[in-house]
Amino acid sequence: MDKVLVYGASGHGKVIVDILEQSQSYSVISYVDDNEKITGTDYFGYPVILGRDNLLSGKNNCRNIIVAIGDNHIRMELSNWLLGHNYGLVNAIHPSTCLARDVDIGVGNAIMAGAVVNSSTSIGSHVIINTNASIDHDCSIGSGVHIAPGATLCGGVVIGESTLIGAGATLIPGIKVGRNCIIGAGSTVIESVPDNAKVYGNPAR
């Protein structure tokens, strides 16, 4: 079984480790974190080593990694830095995920327990599809997106890079949401949303 590092000793990091353990796809060897106060400690049963400088040293002897950071922009920046330094970003997909056989998926993604991703959907890289999220057929999800727990994307929805779809939000078929948007929790989106917009409510405005 290949070894893997998890970047981010946090609540989200614990979820990622649990997915990797349950899927038995990789053997976790340690967390990596930029917080010097917690390096050298154990977190969720694994040691925490200091961040980027340690990785550049190559002492860990592991080139597989996943970034377990919830903030879309930080996750994207760090993931691209790692790719630029020849680290291989892995996907963490919970074994209870329902993933259609023709889903196109990038690297560095986390797909949580109970998520459903239906046929002919494409998922970029560094994406979080959180617990019990539902993504129907022919959707397109850009890199760096976070689909929060219980959110529903109906068929043919397009989500731009680094957008957050809040918990329990619903997007009707064919909606297009731009880059760097925030869709409020529980919102119902019935019209397309331009780049950099924040919308919420039922219907979302």
Nearest-CA neighbor of 82 among 32, 152, 156? 32
Token pair of 193 as six digits: 């949303």
| β strands within 70-194, DSSP E | 88-89, 92-93, 98-99, 104-105, 110-111, 116-117, 122-123, 128-129, 134-135, 140-141, 146-147, 152-153, 158-159, 164-165, 170-171, 176-177, 182-183, 188-189
Q: Where in the sequence numbering do the catalytic residues fall?
A: 137
